[in-house]
Amino acid sequence: MAKQIIDKNLQRPKKSKAARRNLFNGLLFASPWILGFIVFTVYAISASLYYSFCRYDILTPPHWIGMKNYTRLLTDDVIFMHSLWNTMYMVIFGLPIGLVLSLALSLLLNIKVKGISIYRAIFYIPTLVPAVALATLWMWLLNTDIGLVNVLLSKIGIAGPGWLNDPAWAKPALIMMGLWGIGGSSIIYLAGLQNIPDHLYEAAELDGANSYHKLRHVTLPMLSPIIFFNLIMGLIGSFQYFTQVYIMTNGGPQDSTLFYALYLFNRAFVDLKMGYASAMAWILFAITLVCTLLVFKTSAKWVYYEGHTNE
């Protein structure tokens, strides 16, 4: 007993020395991130919050004006509301279409046929096209008079709309362009599909399930965490949508493609209203947070995690 106590006392300084060394090494190895976190996250968030209550043109020091930026944004800025609506339009229409079609495509890409890996590569390649090149190419494809899209439509007897020149069609045009890149999320779904154990399908077949039943009661529940992941990522992405519209339409025609991120950028770096733009950034943050929390809240009902059910 006494010996044990002595041993313990002897060991303690040694142990704490090792612990101290681990702490030192741990912080040392993590120091690049810690430094970046302090400057680019902690400081930047605080400064951004402060600016959002200021008039700030970056050339002169910020000047405190209280809630004015926020009240003006929420009560007195028609263009802001318009940009918010444009972005919601993409969330409400573009996001679900993309999710359903990329899921459908992943089911197709999961069929075991010869050359399937070539098909997978083909559908993935459009996601690699740099945003600026993508925008340039689609401006050409969507050209009203001689663009390939309208040429093909006219072959089947449809007079194509003015796409990027028509306020009613500019957003659908961008959604269509986005569908060219759904292969990226299909590949993520595919990884999930391949993790579904065969015995689940075999068991379902024994119970007399047809293809629809298997999709509805095995595939979709097993994929739900990935659907959830893609939904959240898509939601965040919709609010950040910038480069393509900056190049293709710069918000036009008639502000029909003036999305949130583009309006924020213009306010900040064209009009030098940095305080105003910071307030916009915080509203954006709040909206994405609320949307994400809503999705999280409902997720308990439809997202299935292995090992977390039947209890």
Partner 1 sequence: MSKGHSSSKRNQTILSHIVLSSLSLLCLLPFYWLVATSLKADMQVHAMPPVWFPHPIVWENYPKAMVYIPFLHYMKNTIVICVSSVIGTVLSCSLVAYSFSKIKWPGRDALFVLVLATLMLPGQVTMIPVFAIFRWLGWIGSYKPLIVPCFLGNAFYIFLLRQFFMSIPQELSDAAKVDGATEFSIYRMIILPLSKPALITVGLFTFIGAWNDFLGPLLYLNDDTKYTLSLGLQQFVGQHGQEWQLLMAAAVVMVVPIILIFIFAQNWFVKGIALTGIKG
Site for partner 1 in 111-170 (CB under 8 A): 111, 113, 116, 119, 121-126, 128-133, 135-141, 143, 145-146, 148, 151
For 279, residues 6+ apart whose C-beta sits below 8 A from its C-beta are: 52, 53, 69, 70, 73
Instruction: Map the footprint of partner 1 across residues 194-233, applying CB under 8 A.
Output: 195, 225-226, 228-230
Shortest distance, position 2 Cβ to partner 1, whole Å: 31
Q: Which of 11, 33, 203, 305 binds partner 1 (CB under 8 A)?
A: 33
233 contacts 292 by C-beta, under 8 angstroms: no
Shortest distance, position 177 Cβ to partner 1, whole Å: 9
Shortest distance, position 55 Cβ to partner 1, whole Å: 13
Smaller CB distance to partner 1: residue 169 or 228?
A: 228
Please report how the helices 95-109 and 170-179 are oriented relative to each other, as an axis angle in degrees rounded to 10.
20
**Residue given tokens 């704490």 in the structure block:** 16
Instruction: Map the footprint of partner 1 across residues 260-289, applying CB under 8 A.
Output: 261, 264, 268-269, 274, 277-278, 280-282, 284-285, 288-289
Number of residues that bind partner 1 (CB under 8 A): 90
Instruction: Map the footprint of partner 1 across residues 168-187, applying CB under 8 A.
Output: 180, 183, 187
Shortest distance, position 255 Cβ to partner 1, whole Å: 19
Task: Please tell me whether residue 294 binds partner 1 under the rule CB under 8 A.
Answer: no
Q: Which of 54, 90, 103, 105 binds partner 1 (CB under 8 A)?
A: 105
Shortest distance, position 135 Cβ to partner 1, whole Å: 8
Q: Which stretch binds partner 1 (CB under 8 A): 47-55, 67-75, 80-88, 199-207?
A: 47-55
Q: Which of 242, 252, 295, 299 binds partner 1 (CB under 8 A)?
A: 242
Phi, psi at residue 168, to the nearest 5°?
-80, -20
Q: Is 63 helix (H, G, I), strand (E, B) or coil?
A: strand
Q: Which stretch binds partner 1 (CB under 8 A): 2-10, 200-208, 237-245, 294-302?
A: 237-245
Q: Which of 6, 10, 23, 67 binds partner 1 (CB under 8 A)?
A: 23
> Which of 230, 228, 132, 147 is CA-nearest to residue 183?
230
Smaller CB distance to partner 1: residue 93 or 140?
A: 140
Phi, psi at residue 309, to the nearest 5°?
-120, -175
288 contacts 236 by C-beta, under 8 angstroms: yes
For 272, residues 6+ apart whose C-beta sits below 8 A from its C-beta are: 57, 58, 59
DSSP labels, 158-173: -----GGGSTTTHHHH
First to last CA, the chain: 46
Smaller CB distance to partner 1: residue 37 or 302?
A: 37
Query: How far is the C-alpha of 286 from the C-alpha of 300, rounded, in Å?
Result: 22
Read off the tokens for 16: 């704490």
Query: How far is the C-alpha of 231 from the C-alpha of 132, rounded, in Å?
Result: 25
Query: How far is the C-alpha of 256 from the C-alpha of 82, rounded, in Å?
Result: 8
Shortest distance, position 5 Cβ to partner 1, whole Å: 25
Binding mask 48-87 for partner 1 (x = CB under 8 A): x--x------x-----------------------------
Smaller CB distance to partner 1: residue 54 or 256?
A: 54
